[in-house]
């Protein structure tokens, strides 16, 4: 295993000390580890976000491989376990906690209440709406959500919007998987990049 001091020196060559410290001390939760969440998580890990809490109840399936961060070696594994193996290959010294559980209104506060920043990365619109609603009403978390990244349309239509003081929405706000558009890696990753970038911006702009 690579020594921590080697990784620290690599980060020191890329980031100012105050940026590195803010990222290392930050705590972020990611709800859903599919096309959005798996890629968001790896971007945050590569950026040195020190404390990650990752929640998903699903396992890796062959249909996931066209857009999610996993490979064939992860098939059948819980996504929480699979993403942990990927993070360990990037930076094994991060504090990573996982929970393999289905998120419901009854457990939102227990799962996410301690996290100031939460990425909503669910697949289904009704579940997205549920989680955003419950996070805003049951917790004090700031939420970064993804909505509208299907198909292969205009990349520049994917944007980050501030909805209110605690909610940011990333996506084009309109496209869905209906009409045969499906989900493809490029546009899903663009949206995931917007979400990860907003999380990092919120961390670094915090007083």
Residue 8: which pLDDT band, with cuts at 50, 70 and 90? confident
pLDDT greater than 90 at residue 13 = no
Contacts (Cβ under 8 Å, ≥6 apart) of 9: none
Are 158 and 133 contacting, i.e. CB atoms less than 8 angstroms apart?
Answer: no
User: CA–CA separation, 172 vs 191, rounded Å?
Assistant: 9
Domain that holds residue 149: 4-205
CATH number, position 125? 3.40.50.720
Burial of 191 (0-12, 13-18, 19+ CB in 10 A): buried
CA atoms within 13 A on the CB side of 113: 8
Average pLDDT, the chain: 93
For residues 21-32, average pLDDT? 97
Convert the pLDDT of each residue in 92-115 to its tens digit.
999 999 999 999 999 999 999 999
Convert the pLDDT of each residue in 75-97 to its tens digit.
999 999 999 999 999 999 999 99
Helix axes 79-90, 35-46, angle to 10 degrees: 20
Give the number of domains in the chain: 1
For residues 144-151, average pLDDT? 87
Question: What's the pLDDT at 175?
Answer: 61
Q: Per-residue DSSP letters for 30-85?
A: EE--SHHHHHHHHHHHHTT--EEEEE---B--GGGGGTSS--GGGTTSBHHHHHHH
pLDDT greater than 90 at residue 148 = no
| DSSP label of 103 | -
Are 206 and 22 contacting, i.e. CB atoms less than 8 angstroms apart?
Answer: yes
User: CA–CA separation, 174 vs 2, rounded Å?
Assistant: 44
For residues 20-32, average pLDDT? 97
């Amino acid at each position: 295993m690579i020594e921590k001091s080697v990784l620290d020196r690599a980060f020191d060559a890329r980031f100012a000390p105050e940026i590195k410290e803010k990222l290392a001390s930050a705590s972020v939760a990611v709800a859903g580890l599919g096309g959005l969440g798996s890629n968001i998580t790896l971007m945050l890990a590569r950026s040195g976000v020190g404390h990650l809490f990752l929640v998903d109840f699903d396992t890796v399936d062959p249909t996931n491989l066209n857009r999610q961060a996993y490979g064939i070696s992860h098939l059948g594994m819980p996504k929480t376990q699979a993403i942990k193996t990927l993070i360990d290959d990037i930076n094994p010294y991060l504090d990573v906690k996982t929970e393999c559980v289905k998120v419901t209104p009854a457990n939102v506060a227990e799962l996410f209440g301690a996290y100031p920043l939460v990425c909503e990365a669910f697949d289904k619109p009704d579940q997205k709406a549920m989680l955003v609603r419950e996070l805003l009403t049951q917790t004090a978390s700031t939420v970064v959500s993804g909505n509208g990244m299907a198909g292969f349309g205009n990349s520049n239509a994917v944007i980050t919007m501030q909805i209110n003081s605690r909610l940011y929405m990333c996506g084009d706000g309109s496209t869905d998987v209906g009409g045969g558009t499906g989900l493809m890696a490029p546009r899903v990753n663009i949206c995931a990049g917007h979400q990860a970038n907003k999380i990092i911006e919120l961390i670094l702009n915090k007083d």
